Amino acid sequence: MTELLVQRKDGVLWLTIAREERRNAMSAAVVEGLTRQLQQANADRSLRAIVLTGAGEKAFCAGADLATGKSFKFDYSEPQQGFANLLRAAHATHLPLIARVNGACMAGGMGLLAMCDLAVAAPHARFGLPEVKVGVFPAQVLTVLQGLVGRRALADLCITGEPMDAQQALAIGLINEVAEDLDAAVGKLLARILDKSPAAIRRGLYLMKHLDGLPFAQSMAFTESQIGLFALTEDAAEGQAAFREKRAPNWSGK
């Protein structure tokens, strides 16, 4: 599909929303394409990470395409809807998801940002939840945003609808880094990931995502049941052997 560019390079899946003339707003085809790509990537052991970005330099994603007049019209006979299914697919993904925020990140675009594990932004990037300006509210986005930023900052974004700049987004923990050279920063981040154990990262992301919302007792019980499983992997044996032998590990990803 021409609205979503898909590229594989050196174990990394690059997904680019290619609707630059619409500020990379999400069409139904983009949402479906992203969902499908995440589901397929999760089962592909040759992939090590996924980078999500937008075409051009003006916008990462402006959210839903309001020009269609159908952005908030759903088939209510369906218990699950497209954008929510995309967020579900991201939550079920055990590959590191990296947001390359090349410009404006608004409304549903904030959901795309929040569903990613890591995020690097250009200095000119802007972030906001302007839904109240058109009479709606960022309902689904709240599910993935509320664990990222504090309650006060989130309330400000939601209730005022006013945007913040990249440095403010960095200060509240919405992104990991602001970089003048966005591609170089993403490349450095990928390099810090790709030399690590694929098995540990895959199981680790599963662990992290299942801890969301668990009270202390349940969280502790779940994590103590998981720690032994990490040690049973081939990567764990190889990593410890490499440490003892003072050499670089040769990961199998198993």
Q: What is the pLDDT along the chain (254 residues), one digit of tens a residue?
A: 699 999 999 999 999 999 999 999 999 999 999 999 999 999 999 999 999 999 999 999 999 887 776 666 677 777 778 899 999 999 999 999 999 999 999 999 999 999 999 999 999 999 999 999 999 999 999 999 998 999 999 999 999 999 999 999 999 999 999 999 999 999 999 999 999 999 999 999 999 999 988 999 999 999 998 998 999 999 999 999 999 999 999 999 99
Instruction: Say what the pLDDT of residue 187 is.
Output: 97
pTM value is 0.92
Instruction: Say what the pLDDT of residue 25 is.
Output: 95
CB burial readout 210-247, b (16+ within 10 A) else e: eeeeeeeeeeeeeeeeeeeeeeebebbebbeeeeeeee
Q: Which of 3, 21, 131, 234 is catalytic?
A: 131
- Model pLDDT for residues 82-127, shown as the tens digit of each residue: 899 999 999 999 999 999 999 999 999 999 999 999 999 999 999 9
| DSSP one-letter string for 27-72 | PHHHHHHHHHHHHHHHT-TT--EEEEEESTTTEEE--B-GGGS-TT
The token pair that represents 20 in the structure block: 């630059």
Instruction: Say what the pLDDT of residue 76 is.
Output: 74
CB burial readout 70-108, b (16+ within 10 A) else e: ebeeeeeeeeeebbbbbbbbbeebbbbbbbbbbbbbbbb
Instruction: Say what the pLDDT of residue 147 is.
Output: 87
Instruction: Say what the pLDDT of residue 69 is.
Output: 65
Structural domain boundaries in the chain: 4-194, 198-245
Instruction: Say what the pLDDT of residue 162 is.
Output: 96
**CATH annotation of 4-194:** 3.90.226.10
User: Catalytic residue at 21?
Assistant: no
Instruction: Say what the pLDDT of residue 82 is.
Output: 87
